[in-house]
Amino acid sequence: MSPSLVVFAWALGKTLPVFLWKGLCIHAVAMGLLLSLRAGAPRPRYVVSCLALLACGVVFAVDVAQGYRIELASLAQGGMARADGGQAAAVQAYWPVWLAAGWLAGAVLVALRTGLGIAWLRRVVSASTPWTDAAWRTRMAAMAQALRLPRTVGLRIARGLSTPITAGWLNPVILVPAHLVTGMPADLLEALLAHELAHVRRLDFLVNLLQHGIEALLFFHPSIWWLSRRIRVERERIADEIAAGLVGDPRRLARALDALSRSADHGDDDARVGLAQGAKHGPLVDRIRRLVHPRVAARRSMAASLLAAVLAMAGASLWSAADPGRAQAAPGADDSRGVLADYPAIQSLVETSGAAHVLVVDTRSGGRLAARAENEVVPIASLTKLMTAMVVMDANLDMTQAVRIEEADAVATREGMSRLPVGTVATRDTLLKLTLMASDNRAAYALARSYPGGLPAFEQALERKRLALGLAHTTLREPTGVSSANRSTASDIARIVGAAATYPAIVRDTVALDEDVNAAGGVIRYRNTNALVGREGWDIRLSKTAASERAGRCLVMRVQVRDRDLTLVLLNARRQPA
């Protein structure tokens, strides 16, 4: 599967649940506006319903496009799974891809139903015959001229229909059931044809097709079907108004609709998809009542007006909560300062570090206390070693087994720092402590090289771990972090910290103060690279630092502050955060 297709599926899957809320917000605003309009005013009600449905389609498409652009940028920076075997694994591991697949199946079924309706309509048109009666053609021409129709309307007789219907918009044609031609009084049939001409004048067939397209796109949302039904109801009411004015007698159209409802059903067109407008469609009893008593309209009570205002305001206010861009937007430094006021030590650490990417999270609740550019993909340097340690621990290796530092370890990490001489022999447990506490690159590389199956097997296990943790914006090319291709976001790093905190050995080693190692040239004393570890007033439960020219200075910690467990991520700081 191509990377761009997986990225699109990912963006689509993430947009679907968010749009459920956005659609409800649009629905609430539309209901409020509809409640504020008179029931006897179908034109503004039709406009509101159409705009609401169109807004749903546009918002969904824009959100998917924006999500795809963001995810594609992350892929270009190395944030998504690699384009080799990693993409297939991503499809199995990530719920957005499966959700997108389910959406595609549903959309195809709805679109297929519409396609079958189009095919049925084309067969009906092909099987129909022209209505050549000169008198009726003259009547049709007069009504078309009165409506100022810019195009010629065909008139054909069809069998198997129960009501006149309109098909097409470039070359529109009105299909008249054969039993109505011979069985309905001429004045009533003329009223029905006037109704169909009103649909032609308003391009309702084209609007209806667009409506079906949005229904297929957003079939999963009940608000879409509610809005579509409202559009069809108001559409028929508007056509009735135009037709009543055209024939000059609303009661005549009412009698025609009544006669149509009583006529025998000679076809199964009502069971078909409603692609073509028909005079029999919509709530006939309500339409007849409106034609007979056009001035009777329900009065709007104060309660209805109040409910309309509440619904509109609720929909507008909830929009911000449903907007993923707003929900994910990181507050600036000034916003963080207010939230962190109760934690002056954390606040001071964040401010003095000058970190470009910040995330402070309540570990238990998941609530964010501060965030800044937490979803931007950046190099992470030695923070990679937390993932390396988890992969080594997952293999259940003999941690007392001795591993020798080889020349290959020095060559692979020559761009990074290490105090371990080539030839040093240490246990895996010691190498793990040096990897986490002192961020020694040769120790980390030796752990990966000595992994069962060698470095290729370790890289595969590292990729599986990345997928298992759902790190959609993380790329890990090697085990130490010396490569700037190892990239992630503050949000993904917080997830890594949460996973690492479940390993007692990792927790122990990241907060160890120091370690003496018998190296080839003598005893080397290592100290924790985080100067806050062991300092009075700091209850640090997990720690890892990183530094490089590309990544800047980085720090992650889990720290206990007044019975509150916080996860802190600082990336690309200007100065040493600790």
Q: 336, 439, 483, 548: which one is catalytic?
A: 439
- Reported as type and span, the H/E element at residue 261 is helix 250-262
Do the beta carbons of residue 555 and residue 340 sit within 8 Å? no
Q: 22, 280, 385, 433: which one is catalytic?
A: 385
Does the annotation list 433 as a binding residue? no
Helix locations, 323-427, DSSP H? 324-328, 333-339, 344-353, 384-394, 407-412
Do the beta carbons of residue 560 and residue 541 sit within 8 Å? yes
Whole-angstrom distance, CA of residue 367 vs CA of residue 333: 17
Coil/strand/helix, residue 175: strand
The tokens describing 178, both together, are 């054969």
Strands in 58-185 per DSSP E = 129-130, 154-158, 165-167, 173-177
Whole-angstrom distance, CA of residue 107 vs CA of residue 127: 30
Q: Strands 357-362 and 564-573: what pairing?
A: antiparallel
Residue 512 burial (CB count, 10 A): 19
Whole-angstrom distance, CA of residue 12 vs CA of residue 2: 16
Length of the chain counted residue by residue: 578
User: For the chain, how are helix, strand and coil distributed in percent, rounded to 5?
Assistant: 55, 15, 30
Whole-angstrom distance, CA of residue 494 vs CA of residue 374: 10
Q: How many CA atoms lie within 13 A of 289 on its CB side?
A: 10
Q: Is 433 a catalytic residue?
A: no
Do the beta carbons of residue 48 and residue 37 sit within 8 Å? yes
Q: Is 543 a catalytic residue?
A: no
Residue 335 burial (CB count, 10 A): 14
> Which is nearest to 384 in space by CA: 491, 468, 496?
496
- Buried-exposed string 136-167: b where 16+ CB fall within 10 A, e elsewhere: beebbeebbeebebeeebbbbbbebbbbbbbb
Q: Is 382 a catalytic residue?
A: yes
Whole-angstrom distance, CA of residue 67 vs CA of residue 7: 9
Q: Which residue has the tokens 């697949």?
A: 101
Whole-angstrom distance, CA of residue 7 vs CA of residue 24: 27
Q: Which amino acid is at 558?
A: R
Q: φ and ψ at 53, to 5 degrees?
A: -65, -45
The tokens describing 272, both together, are 């078909």
Provide the β-strand partners of residue 519: 522
Q: Cβ neighbours of residue 313 under 8 Å, at least 6 residues apart?
A: 32
Provide the β-strand partners of residue 573: 553
CA–CA distances in Å: residue 78 to residues 83, 92, 379, 545: 10, 20, 10, 22
456 sits in the region (left: phi over 0; alpha: psi -120 to 50; else beta) called: alpha
Whole-angstrom distance, CA of residue 230 vs CA of residue 234: 6
The tokens describing 135, both together, are 């008198």
Provide the annotated binding site for substrate. 544
Active-site residue set: 382, 385, 439
